[in-house]
């Protein structure tokens, strides 16, 4: 056991977070995201029993966000004409505000298919059981 480490972070995930270097990206994917397909070249970590918010909050306690890019946190943009509401994005912004002095200005959006392309080059993808739609979030690691 270790002190100060959120219990939701498994040894496997802690190892991956530690291995990641500056500019590496991590995707926290909702339950509908094709994690295994997108993650053929990445490490896929299954966390099916957990939601994205609790995972994001735990990770950001340890994970520095990149200060050399405008948006080290990116959300998958809603497709034009899709009548989906995204209240989970407000939760993400609140979590990011606690972890980064830039607050919600650190959060951007990436068009859906561009998000998929970037996810294919991510260092790791966390597959969650999140049921909210468009709840995918990508983090870019900074330096300590």
Sign of CA dihedral 33, 83, 74, 60: negative
Q: Is 82 a catalytic residue?
A: no
Give me the catalytic one of 30, 50, 66, 134. 66
Q: Is 100 a catalytic residue?
A: no
Q: Is 92 a catalytic residue?
A: no
Give me the catalytic one of 24, 50, 71, 116. 116
Give the chain as a 3 state SS string.
CCCCCCCCCCHHHHHHHHHCCCCCEEEEECCCCCHHHHCCCCEEEEECCCCHHHHHHHHCCCCCECCCCCCCEEEECCCCCCCCCCCHHHHHHHHHHHHCCCHHHHEEEECHHHHHHHHCCCCEEEEECCCCCCCCEEEEECCC
Catalytic residue set: 22, 66, 116
């Amino acid at each position: 056991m270790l002190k100060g480490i959120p219990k939701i972070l498994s040894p496997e995930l802690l190892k991956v977070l530690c291995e990641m270097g500056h500019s590496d990206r991590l995707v926290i994917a909702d339950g509908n995201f094709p994690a295994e397909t997108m993650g053929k070249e990445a490490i896929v970590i299954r966390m099916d029993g957990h939601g994205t918010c609790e995972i994001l909050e735990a990770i950001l306690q340890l994970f520095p966000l990149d200060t050399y890019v405008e948006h080290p946190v990116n959300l998958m943009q809603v497709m034009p004409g899709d009548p989906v509401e995204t209240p989970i994005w407000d939760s993400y912004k609140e979590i990011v505000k606690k972890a980064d002095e830039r607050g919600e200005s650190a959060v951007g959006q990436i068009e859906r298919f561009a998000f998929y392309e970037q996810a294919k080059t991510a260092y790791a993808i966390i597959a969650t059981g999140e049921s909210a739609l468009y709840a995918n979030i990508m983090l870019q690691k900074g330096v300590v």
